[in-house]
Structure formats: C-alpha cells, structure tokens
Structure 1
Amino acid sequence: MPDAAMESAFRPMPLTALVTTDYAGITRGRAIPTATYEADPARASTGWVPANLSLTPFDVIADPNPWGSRGDLRLKADPQARYRTTIPGAQTPFDCVMADIVALDGAPWPPCARGLLKAALADLEAESGLRLVCAFEHEFQILGAGWAPAPAFGLFALRRADPLGSVLAACLEEAGIAPETIIAEYGRDQFEITSAPADALVAADRAVATREIVREVALRLGLRASFAPKTAVEGVGNGVHVHMSLVHPDGRPASFDPAREGRLSDSMGAFLAGILRHAPALVALTAPAPISYLRLAPHHWSAAWTWLGDADREATLRICPTTTMGGRDPARQFNVEYRAADACAAPHLALAMLVRAGIEGMRARLPTPPIVDTDPATLSDAERASLGLARLPGSLSDALAALEADPVAAGFLPEAALETYLGMKRAEIAIAGETLDEALCARYAAIY
C-alpha cells in the first residue's frame, strides 16, 4: 500500500486517562486504551508511585520526602466521574476519569486528596445530617493573543475571541459539567466560567475537568490559557471562588433562614465560623503558590482578612445575592462563596480543608460571625479585634507557618500528608526564590 494511502487509513487509538490532581494542583495520571477501560470500568486501575505526591509544580520531587523511591499504589477509576468530549482540532476525544489513589489491595490510601474530601463529606453528613453543595467559579486569561483592547465585561471582548466561548460551552456541556455563564472579565483578555451547583465531590471533579478542557480548547484554537493567580505583578488576579451551601439529604435547603442576620441558618453560620477561625491556616492550601499573595491583598477584590461580608467582593466569605424575579425561591439560590482560593490549589484538597474547618465550627456550635459592612483597613486594631478580623498571611511562608501553628487545622491532614505537603511547598518556595517578579509570574502562568 502506498505511504499516502497508509497515512489516510491510519486512525489514532482513543485513550482514557485515569487522573489524580496532586498537592501541587497539577492533574497527572496514566492513560489506557479506551476499549480496555470500557470493557470493565469498575475494575480499571493503573500503577502509581507514592513519591509523585511530593512533586512540586516545577516537576522536582521534594527532598527529603516521606516516600523515597520505594512503594507502589494504584489509580482506581471512579466510573461515575468520567469527563469526555470531542474538542475541535483534536484527533481523539478528551477523555479522563477521576481516580482515587489506593493501596494495591484497593484500600484507601490516606494521603489521597480525593479520598480526603470523600472522608470529610462523609463525616459532615454523619455528624450534622447535612450535605454540601458546591460550584467552582474560575477566572483565566488568554496570553499573547494579540487581540485589540476591548472594554471590560463588554460583548465585543467576548465576541472578538469567538469561537472560544461557544466551543468551551459546547465541550463543557458534552462532558457533563453543566456550564452556566462564560463572560469577558475585568482584566485584559480575562474570562470567567461558572457551572451549575452539584454535590461537593462532583463539583471538585468538575473543577479539575474544567481547567483541563479550557486549556485544551484554547490550545486547539492556537491560544494559551492560564489560570495562574497572577500572570503579571500589576495585572488583575485570577481567582477560584468556591460557592457552598448546605442541604438536607432530600435536597431541601439548609443554609437559609430569613429571620436571622445575613439570612444564615444556625448550621451555616457555625460552618462559616469554623472556616474563618482557621482561615489563616487554610490559605496555605487554598492559595498555595508564592504569587498567590500578590492577589490576597487589600483592595484587590479578592480576600485579605478573616471577614464575612454580605455581597462584598473583598470579603473572604461573601454572602451571595438572591433574586425573587419570576417567583424564584431565595432559599434554593442561597450560598456563600469562599474567595481566598486560586487554581494553584488542588480542588479536592482545598475543599476537604474547608469542609473540615466547617465541621469544627458546627461541633463547637460557634455563633455566626459578625457581618462586616466596612473596609477592615479603615478600622482600628481594637475594632478589628472586636469583630474577629485578622489579616490573612502575606506570603506562602507565613501561611505554612500559620498551618503548623494551628494544631486543629494541621490535624485535618494525616501525618504523612502534612509532612508531604509542607515539604513539597517549602521545596517550591526554594526553587521559586524570594522575588515575586514578572519572571516568576510568567513561570507560573506557563504551568497553570
């Protein structure tokens, strides 16, 4: 057969990737032939290595680490968490399945980020009788597109990028991610994408798939998408806002109480109080890169204080607005977003920490935190103290120190997981260096 005929007859073999998102917020894994996966999805697994969890974003394994060169694990596919779509320009479908890291006999491996979230959610339901519903809201930028400037939030800013938005919407919908909005955001060539609320584990899985699909859609269109928290020192930051609400097992809302301040139920108020109590430690895992702290600063529309605000986009926890237009029920819309997060964080790990902190608040029956309706920077130290307002750490090193200084928050992680995380992050800091400059922003923009 002539070479041209052979080439025209050639068909790439579709692959299904079994993936895990590690402590560096990088989605890694191994692919197997799709036919092999589909022959027995419930038993699909592939090998994995403990030391992979100590990989920094720069693909250097932290040394020392708890694992060394020994040991073997498995990535066990969750057939309920498959995300598959046909991306124009790709020769094979995008096809990934979220996997749990397990021991060789299938038993849970305690440091697995997805396993940590599953365990936290099970404890939340066992102790409170409530489930958590979430949605991750992502901001990202297109780098080096060369587009003409366009007004922020403008229709032209979205249309000049066509077909980016429409292809993204189609691919995310086909993958089962239920996109709700795609907008041109405030920053230069910045976009925001939201999806419908779902059970918390599903929401975290969707967050992983969303990031990967956005990057590939952009790639196939000849573009570069980055979710890095800062792509330039003075640029607008890219956040990840985690929307949360509590529901009863039958789906009835459990966060909303119109008779209480902020319309927050006792349960939701205590859950949020737990998050704020441990927020200085939590940001070590929700804003986990050195450049994350260029964004977590006052007056950056992100978060800088342990602050509950009503519809205030500077608050770490923001009570989101509801509408009654068209007879809509506020209780079913009601949610609170956590704003001190970005896409350098692993969605499962970050959410697991938030859930654990919320459980602690519920166990202690903490009162709903004061709703602050003014800029904390304008208050005196005594006024901030009376409202429970503390400054979030100003650097990743400070955040890691806050995590170690908070035995409750540190205890949310198994001992080996904590050792791994601290070691990996300190290795990342050493590689990144002390200077938060344009070169470092560009380095993270290329990774995330």
Structure 2
Amino acid sequence: MASRAPEQREEARRLAAQLTAEGVLNTALTWVDNAGIVRVKTVPVQRFAAAAQRGVGMSPVFDVFTSYDDITASDQVGGPDGDLRLLPDLDRVVPLAAQPGWAWAPVDRYDQLGRPHPACQRQFARRMVDRAAAAGLQLRMGFETEWIVTRAPAGHGPAAAGADEALDFPCAGPAYGMTRVVELSDYLRDVTEALGVQGLDVLQLHPEYAPGQFEVTTAPADPVRAADDVVLVRETVRAVSARHGLRASFAPSFVAGQVGNGCHLHLGLYRDGASLHRAPGAEWGLAPDAVAFLGGLVAALPALLAIGCPSPASYLRLQPSHWAGVYQCWGVENREAALRLITGAPDDPDGGHAELKTFDAAANPYLAVGAVIAAGLHGIESAARLPAPQTGDPGVLGVRERARRGIVRLPATLTEAADQLEKSAPLHEAMGEMLHGAVLAVRRAEEAHFADSEPEEIAAATRWRW
C-alpha cells in the first residue's frame, strides 16, 4: 500500500512520543460497522507510528457483520477473502480520560494499494461533506446521546441477558428530576469531566424520561467530526459507567413498551458563513436552499429510517405520541414531528437549525450524516418544497384527518424501511453499489433473525449490543 506523506509520518511519530509521555500504553482504532457496532483493533503505543503509516489489517467481511455477530453477504461483500488497511485519523487522536493508559482514534479504511475502500462509511460521510461544499453549502451537526444505566451484576455477560434479566436501576427519582442528579452526582460529574478532558464541549447533561435514563448533548461540529464525537461520547460514558460499577446501554429499546434511547441529529445549514435559517423576511426564516434541503429530508424520511433506525429494536421505540417522530411531517418546535425546526433565540444569529428525531444509537453515525446530506442535496437539485408544517400530535388525529392533511406513517418495521432504501435512487447513487448493497444485506439479515421474536425478546437480545 502507498505510504503516507513524509509530513504525516513525522506527525505520527510525534504523536506516539507525546502519547508515551502521557502514560499511554495502547491505542484503540475504531470503526463502526453497518449494524452500528463499534469494532476495534488495538496497537501498543510503540507501534502506533507504524500503524499510522501502513495501516492495520482487517477483513472486508466486517461490512456484513450483524448486530448479533453473524456474518451475512451482499453481491460484492462476503467470505474470507481480501484485506483492508485501517489508517487512524491523526487529527482525532485522544488519550482516554476514563481508561488510563489508552488512547483512541477513528480510522478510514483503504485497500492494499492505498485506494479508499468503497464501503468505508467515514469516507462516505466525507464525500458528502465535499459534495455539499462544491454546492457552496457548509453544515454543522451534533447528536443528542441518550443512555440507560443499571447496576452491573457480578459476572455480568451474555449469559446474564434475557427477557427475565433482573434490572437494578441506580436512581429512583422522577423523570427529568433533580433527585436523579443528586443520587448520581458523582457519576454525572465524572462523565462531564471525562468528556471535557477529551476536548468535547458539553452543552447539556440531564436526566431523561425512562428509569435510569440520561442525555448528554455536545457542541455542533462539521459532520464527520460530529460522527466521531458521538462515538467518543458513547465509549466514554460506557467507560465511566464501568468505573462506577454501572452498565450503560444505548439500545433503542431497553425494555419493550417503555420509552427507548434516541440519538437525535441536529443540523444547521450555512453559505459563506451565514446561517440559512436566519433569512430576513423569509417564511420560517429559511432561505430557499434551506427549504429545498429540508424538503429533501422530509421526502427521504422513509428510506432514511433504514439508515438511522437499523434494528428491529428501533421500531419498538418508534411509537406514536412518544416524541419519536413516527409520521412523515415537520413542524416548528413540534417534538412529535419527525423533522423539528428549531427557531432559536431571536438575538442569536446562528441559533436556528433543524432536528431529526427518528434516529437512534444503533445507527452508524457516519452513514447517518452522509445519508442526510445526500438526501438534502437531492432536495436542492430537485427544487423540493416543504409541505405545510404540522402542529400538535399527529398521533391523536383520526385516520381521515391525517389523510386530509397528507400526514403519512413512516415505516413501522425494518422490512418496510429497507424496502424504501432499496428503491431510493438518490441514496443508492450517493452511497455507491458496494456500500448500499452491504447495508441492505445487513438489514435483511437483522429482519430474518428476529422475524419470529416477540418485542420482549427483541429488546432483551439487543439491550447490551449498543
């Protein structure tokens, strides 16, 4: 494989020396597969410079791993043949505050000749950022991360998970209540500190609705960095939880029938540094390109669900009247709409943005940001329009009234969503044949695996996968 430029090799050696001086012994090199699982190869710090120059080997078959570690196949990916190289992003190397002696870096994937791997999700996201830039658009994105913690039982592991698993929540206070903060103040303080030490700007940290549930929001960034950040947030929360004798779950459905974990995606559009959500005199404050971009998102929502809600467990979470956004509509500050327009404070020139409420943490965040950009750019290219905004909860309207307003239920199963993704020409073109095919193969395998499972069985089987 073609090696990196001399200045990059020198930077890798400098980083390795710096990590060693900071007491780092091992580096975790992560990528996220199409089932949303963070996979890893680790190298000792003294091998980091070599890994950064020539990469670390891994099989292409990980593109068709499922969430339960079975291996499926697509027309282009599958079987034991082939090799790829994992190259860490030297700009994102971070010593891990909650894992002493460890550092982390996300990777890009290349073939043995140094060519970008067509199914590399992180490079797909970067291609879409570049495509937006070529159209004169810049995006800033950020994720809300929700998780549930329980006390970790002695000797917990796969055998402990099941529908009859005893769940011991460490806090008993009411939803959004200060009581939860008091009960777990040391834990939440350590989460905040670890994220901050790692360079993540925490905007909010608070209790959520379900038992043992919390949410953290970090500052927006360019889309690829935002995807990196949410991976780092999750693994940091997981590590801090372990040090407190707790176990963290980011699964979409922790207990069937209860509120699950979302991972809402916030996005803001800019041209030449000016927000397109602050157009003077424009309806909803949206410049024409913002209207078309968001119109493209609304139109693509059925297919985007197969990207942002990739597990059968995701559809246990997507229930009407639960602020999950299960109808194909948008609204101004409407938390039941799949796409929520956030107007922001009037005196904040960068305050306006939009929020996709359907996505959850089973999603590969690089696929999520890339697919959202692709759908929005298609909206601009096709001069998409936003339908009338919706107010109130569509779930309480009758079937006829929803039909009169043009409000359609989004896919209620992964099968329906995957069918929509398979038919989406814009997403197929943006992702390319190999990535698109691998994603669909994993979705079909997930469908088949859980086809005969009851909701309680699905929730229990996936509870500790994310």
The one-letter code of the counterpart of 1:173 is G
Verify: 1:312 aligned to 2:322, yes or no.
Answer: no
For the 8 Å contact 2:332–2:342, the answer to whether it is kept is yes
Report which stretch shifted further, 379-388 or 352-361.
Answer: 379-388
Q: Aligned-pair distance for 1:52?
A: 1.0
Q: Aligned pair count?
A: 428
**In structure 2, what is the equivalent of residue 6 of structure 1?**
none
Verify: 1:19 aligned to 2:27, yes or no.
Answer: no
Q: Which whole-Å CA distance do the structure 1 matches of 2:400 and 2:132 have between them?
A: 35
Q: Give CA deviations for 1:43-91 in whole Å, capped at 9, x if unaligned.
A: 262111111111101111114662321111101111112232321xx45
Verify: 1:159 aligned to 2:182, yes or no.
Answer: yes
Q: Aligned-pair distance for 1:131?
A: 0.7
Verify: 1:295 aligned to 2:306, yes or no.
Answer: no
Q: Aligned-pair distance for 1:380?
A: 6.3
Q: Aligned-pair distance for 1:321?
A: 4.0
**In structure 2, what is the equivalent of residue 269 of structure 1?**
291
**In structure 2, what is the equivalent of residue 51 of structure 1?**
61
Verify: 1:137 aligned to 2:131, yes or no.
Answer: no
For the 8 Å contact 1:232–1:442, the answer to whether it is kept is yes
Which one of 232, 252, 257 corresponds to residue 274 of structure 2?
252
**In structure 2, what is the equivalent of residue 28 of structure 1?**
39
Q: Aligned-pair distance for 1:447?
A: 0.9
Q: Which whole-Å CA distance do the structure 2 matches of 1:314 and 1:245 have between them?
A: 20
RMSD: 2.1
**In structure 1, what is the equivalent of residue 6 of structure 2?**
none
Q: Which whole-Å CA distance do the structure 1 matches of 2:121 and 2:275 have between them?
A: 27
Q: Give CA deviations for 1:182-221 in whole Å, capped at 9, x if unaligned.
A: 1011111100000011111111110111111111110111
Verify: 1:418 aligned to 2:436, yes or no.
Answer: yes
SS of 1:293's partner is: helix
**In structure 2, what is the equivalent of residue 102 of structure 1?**
110
**In structure 2, what is the equivalent of residue 229 of structure 1?**
252
The one-letter code of the counterpart of 1:92 is G
Q: Which whole-Å CA distance do the structure 2 matches of 1:386 and 1:79 have between them?
A: 53
Q: Compute the TM-score of the two structures, normalised by the length of structure 1.
A: 0.90
Q: Which whole-Å CA distance do the structure 2 matches of 1:105 and 1:57 have between them?
A: 30
Counting only pairs closer than 5 Å after superposition, residues 323-338 of structure 1 correspond to structure 2 as 323-324=345-346, 328-329=347-348, 331-338=349-356
Q: Which whole-Å CA distance do the structure 2 matches of 1:185 and 1:287 have between them?
A: 20
Q: Aligned-pair distance for 1:409?
A: 3.0
Counting only pairs closer than 5 Å after superposition, residues 88-237 of structure 1 correspond to structure 2 as 90-93=99-102, 95-127=103-135, 129-143=136-150, 144-237=167-260
Q: Aligned-pair distance for 1:40?
A: 6.5
For the 8 Å contact 1:85–1:172, the answer to whether it is kept is no
The one-letter code of the counterpart of 1:234 is G
Q: Aligned-pair distance for 1:379?
A: 5.1
Q: Name the CA shift for 1:377/1:162 in 2 (closer, same or farther; >3 Å).
A: closer
The one-letter code of the counterpart of 1:248 is R
Q: Aligned-pair distance for 1:303?
A: 1.0
Q: Which whole-Å CA distance do the structure 2 matches of 1:184 and 1:83 have between them?
A: 27
Q: Which whole-Å CA distance do the structure 2 matches of 1:41 and 1:401 have between them?
A: 40
Q: Which whole-Å CA distance do the structure 1 matches of 2:24 and 2:170 have between them?
A: 36
SS of 1:389's partner is: coil
Q: Which whole-Å CA distance do the structure 2 matches of 1:408 and 1:384 have between them?
A: 28
Which one of 366, 370, 374 corresponds to residue 352 of structure 1?
370
For the 8 Å contact 1:400–1:422, the answer to whether it is kept is yes
Q: Which whole-Å CA distance do the structure 1 matches of 2:370 and 2:322 have between them?
A: 26
SS of 2:89's partner is: strand
Q: Name the CA shift for 1:376/1:156 in 2 (closer, same or farther; >3 Å).
A: closer
Q: Name the CA shift for 1:258/1:294 in 2 (closer, same or farther; >3 Å).
A: farther
SS of 1:193's partner is: strand
For the 8 Å contact 1:233–1:436, the answer to whether it is kept is no
Q: Give CA deviations for 1:110-154 in whole Å, capped at 9, x if unaligned.
A: 111001100011011102x01110110111111244435202111
SS of 1:165's partner is: helix
Q: Compute the TM-score of the two structures, normalised by the length of structure 2.
A: 0.87
Q: Name the CA shift for 1:420/1:291 in 2 (closer, same or farther; >3 Å).
A: same
Q: Aligned-pair distance for 1:390?
A: 2.0
For the 8 Å contact 1:311–1:320, the answer to whether it is kept is yes
Q: Name the CA shift for 1:362/1:283 in 2 (closer, same or farther; >3 Å).
A: same
The one-letter code of the counterpart of 1:188 is P
Q: Which whole-Å CA distance do the structure 1 matches of 2:105 and 2:276 have between them?
A: 31
Q: Which whole-Å CA distance do the structure 2 matches of 1:164 and 1:25 have between them?
A: 26
| Percent of residue pairs identical | 32
Gaps of 5+ in 2: 1-22, 151-166
Q: Name the CA shift for 1:23/1:97 in 2 (closer, same or farther; >3 Å).
A: same
The one-letter code of the counterpart of 1:231 is F
Report which stretch shifted further, 256-265 or 281-290.
Answer: 256-265
SS of 1:411's partner is: helix
Q: Aligned-pair distance for 1:270?
A: 0.7
Gaps of 5+ in 1: 1-11
Q: Give CA deviations for 1:271-311 in whole Å, capped at 9, x if unaligned.
A: 11101111111101101110111121211111111111111
**In structure 1, what is the equivalent of residue 18 of structure 2?**
none
Q: Which whole-Å CA distance do the structure 1 matches of 2:369 and 2:96 have between them?
A: 26
Report which stretch shifted further, 149-158 or 216-225.
Answer: 149-158
The one-letter code of the counterpart of 1:45 is G
Q: Give CA deviations for 1:395-416 in whole Å, capped at 9, x if unaligned.
A: 0011111212333333332112
Q: Which whole-Å CA distance do the structure 2 matches of 1:126 and 1:64 have between them?
A: 32
Q: Name the CA shift for 1:142/1:86 in 2 (closer, same or farther; >3 Å).
A: same
Q: Which whole-Å CA distance do the structure 1 matches of 2:359 and 2:116 have between them?
A: 27
For the 8 Å contact 1:145–1:223, the answer to whether it is kept is no
**In structure 1, what is the equivalent of residue 305 of structure 2?**
283
